[in-house]
Amino acid sequence: MIESAQARVSSRNPKTAALARRVAAFAVAALLCGATQSARANPSLLIDADTGAVLYQDHATQPWYPASVTKLMTVYVSLQAVRDHKIGFDTPLVVSARAASMPPSKMGFRPGSMVTLGNALKMLMVKSANDVAITIAEGVAGSVEAFAEEMNASAASLGLAQSHFVNPNGLPDPNHVSSARDLAVLARALYLTFPDQADLFGIGALRLGNKIIANHNNLLGRYPGVDGMKTGFTCAAGFNVVASASLGGRRLIAVVLGSPTATQRMIKTAALLDRGFAGVDQPTLSLASLPQQQGTAAPDMHDSVCRARARAIAESSAEVEALMAPLAAAKAQDFTAPDRTYFYNSRALAGLSPMASRIAMTPPTPFEPVPVFAGPPADYAGPIAQPRPPHSPIGTPGPAIAYAPSDPQTLEGSVAPLASRPDALPMRRGKARGAAALAHLPPPMPAASSTKLIEGDDESGASAAVKTSQTKAVKGRTAKGSRQKPAPHVASKAHVPSKIHGVSKAAGAAGKAKASKIEKHANK
């Protein structure tokens, strides 16, 4: 294709011919660069959602930490329970102490408060709230452990070969793994089994009181036709996403795991979708026939995602260039055709460009927020779902027991990458507390353990971890015995309680100031 493009322009305008040769050379370089990076490529997969045919795959069966993409399975098990009339979307779920103790991302609801299953599922998909995931698990199955059993039973019935689930939110655990192939199977099953709930995965924003909660999926509103599904991030997993898009009556599902940044994740996913909709990749395999990777464990991405990211970003950029090489070559051939008289027209050029090459500069389309609320529905008189004996019916009384977080587990031979990090900054804590206040609930009390864990779905977690690592390095080089100025003492403000039917202006102002201060350090 590249050679034919050069041949076609050999006798035409010298400037046009030179431009075509440069574009073709770029495509060749990208292909060669991609070949050298393939051994270190992170998992990616592109399938046709209707047929299940594999259009593109790279290490699709490599075990991987799914992070918050786990919540797709949490939704699947919950929708099964609704379908089987075990619970309803209007059923109130009780927030337990265990749920309230979860690290961010979270809604910050106080133990004993309630939220309906329908609202909880929306918060789970948009905010990626870890406390809400626990609340759903305990409300549907009685306990987190019982819900994990149901997750694994569903995984077995779907044929997920590399997946094992320990919790409903994807927080780090060495035994909590999946793969790009398994996540694509799960995503396809959600659309095929529960087509009436497809809108749940494409909500751009929620409105809780006066608070707007935006979706972490930065493909929504940027890539034409993207209508879901879920992002995820931990330092050990990297930036993950399962994305679906529909154009011309055809739906594609892309899975990208282990990207070093949220932007790289978005660009790589866009490149896969570009290839699929352009017809670059044709069906060659089915999901069932993908080669299995035997004896491999999920890698730990902590060093390349939350410490020194420069090399990982360069390698990810090379992968994207290799993915886009066929599109670049086709574009070079297209530009040299005699009927392309509008070559220097910037609008026409943008129309011919793959989305992956410009999506990072594309502003998102604003969304109309979907309203949600905390508490039971008005005049609700049915059963209430709360922690109770495993797999018991909704409404069964639960034992009054306290929850104490267990010690974090560590991978053998590692430097505790999956353990909670006391020096990590929480993600968007101010927003979580603001949401709790707007739901007429006071902010949660701090958990018994002061552990903070970087987890979520956006760039701030990794940025905070990188900055923490750099700060430690600087402190380590400080001369021994040097005097440091003490931090200025800041008097703590007294807590201003919310009104019964509203939030006081003073409390709202304090919440906004605190949130902006945290984001100033977390989201640079």
Residues tagged in the binding site annotation for substrate: 230
Which helix H or strand E contains 349, and what residues bound it?
helix 346-352
Q: What is the spatial distance between Cα 321 and Cα 261, in angstroms, rounded to a whole number?
A: 16
Q: What does 87-140 look like in DSSP terms, one character per residue?
A: S-TT-EEEPPHHHHTPPSS---PPTT-EEEHHHHHHHHHHT--HHHHHHHHHHH
DSSP β-ladder status, 370-372 and 205-208: parallel
Q: What is the spatial distance between Cα 496 and Cα 433, in angstroms, rounded to a whole number?
A: 13
Residues in the chain: 524
Q: Which of 68, 96, 163, 244 is catalytic?
A: 68
First to last CA, the chain: 43
Contact partners, residue 449, CB within 8 Å, separation at least 6: 101, 405
Contact 446, 248 (CB under 8 A): no
406-415: long-range pairs with CB below 8 Å, 24+:
408/172, 408/451, 409/173, 409/174, 409/175, 410/174, 411/174, 411/300, 414/300
Write the CA distances from 509 to 342, 350, 435, 440, integer angstroms. 54, 44, 13, 15
Handedness of CA 460, 465, 468, 469 (dihedral sign): negative
Say which amino acid occupies 266.
Answer: M
Q: Which of 44, 71, 101, 259 is catalytic?
A: 71
Q: What is the spatial distance between Cα 18 and Cα 365, in angstroms, rounded to a whole number?
A: 38
- Three-class DSSP category at 265: helix
- For 511, other C-beta atoms within 10 Å of its C-beta total 22
* Helix ranges restricted to H, 10-116: 14-37, 71-83, 97-100
Handedness of CA 193, 199, 203, 209 (dihedral sign): negative
Q: What is the spatial distance between Cα 340 and Cα 431, in angstroms, rounded to a whole number?
A: 50
Contact partners, residue 358, CB within 8 Å, separation at least 6: 350
Contact partners, residue 3, CB within 8 Å, separation at least 6: none
Q: Which residues are annotated as a binding site?
A: 230
Q: Which of 44, 101, 128, 357 is catalytic?
A: 128
Tell me whether residue 128 is one of the annotated catalytic residues. yes
Q: What is the spatial distance between Cα 105 and Cα 497, in angstroms, rounded to a whole number?
A: 24
The residues carrying an active-site annotation are 68, 71, 128
